[in-house]
Amino acid sequence: MREFVTKRLYKDVEGTCTGRYGYIVAVVAILDIQTGKIIPGHGSAEFEVKYSAILFKPFKNEVLDGVVESVNKLGFVTNAGPFQIFVSGSYIPSDMKLDMNTNPPSFHSDDQKIEKGTLVRIKIIGTLIDATKITAIGTIKEDYLGVIE
């Protein structure tokens, strides 16, 4: 029974997001599994499990690396691990111009180009935390941010 509960914990918990703790990246150790309680009229059992885990919860002013998912006229969306960061055009340096005629669309300057698949360094300027998802707004308009070469 312990093996079943352990496998179920890994399956149900890893990769999920809670608003309070952030993303549960990996369960590191199971500390305690209580004796199961039968749920009346259902035939199932419920187990209380205490475990330790690696968590990921982004904060304002944190700097992260991510991969550009898409570029549009408003800015671009980046995936940084399990969550997305939107960078608005107003938080992109003024020397970078949008070119929707290229395939894929891109922001480019004389020495940099941001398009789908580009690795960028972003500073988080705000987060929105829901019960099952975290999204953020970021900037590349500061020193040492932008395209990573």
Over residues 81-127, the pLDDT tens digits come to 888 999 999 999 999 999 988 888 999 998 899 999 999 999 999 99
The alpha-helical segments, DSSP class H, found in 33-134 are none
Mean pLDDT in the chain? 92
Q: Is the pLDDT of residue 43 over 90?
A: no
In eight-state DSSP terms, residue 21 is T
The strand pair at 17-18 and 45-46 is best described as unpaired
**Contact criterion met (CB below 8 Å) for 78 and 65:** no
Share of the chain above pLDDT 70, in %: 100
Tokens 């399956």 label which residue?
Answer: 11
pLDDT band at 18 (very low <50, low <70, confident <90, very high): confident
Within 8 A by CB and 6+ apart from 137, the residues are: 85, 86, 87, 88, 91, 124, 125, 126, 127
Structure tokens at 140: 């590349």
Is it the case that residue 129 has pLDDT exceeding 90? Answer: no
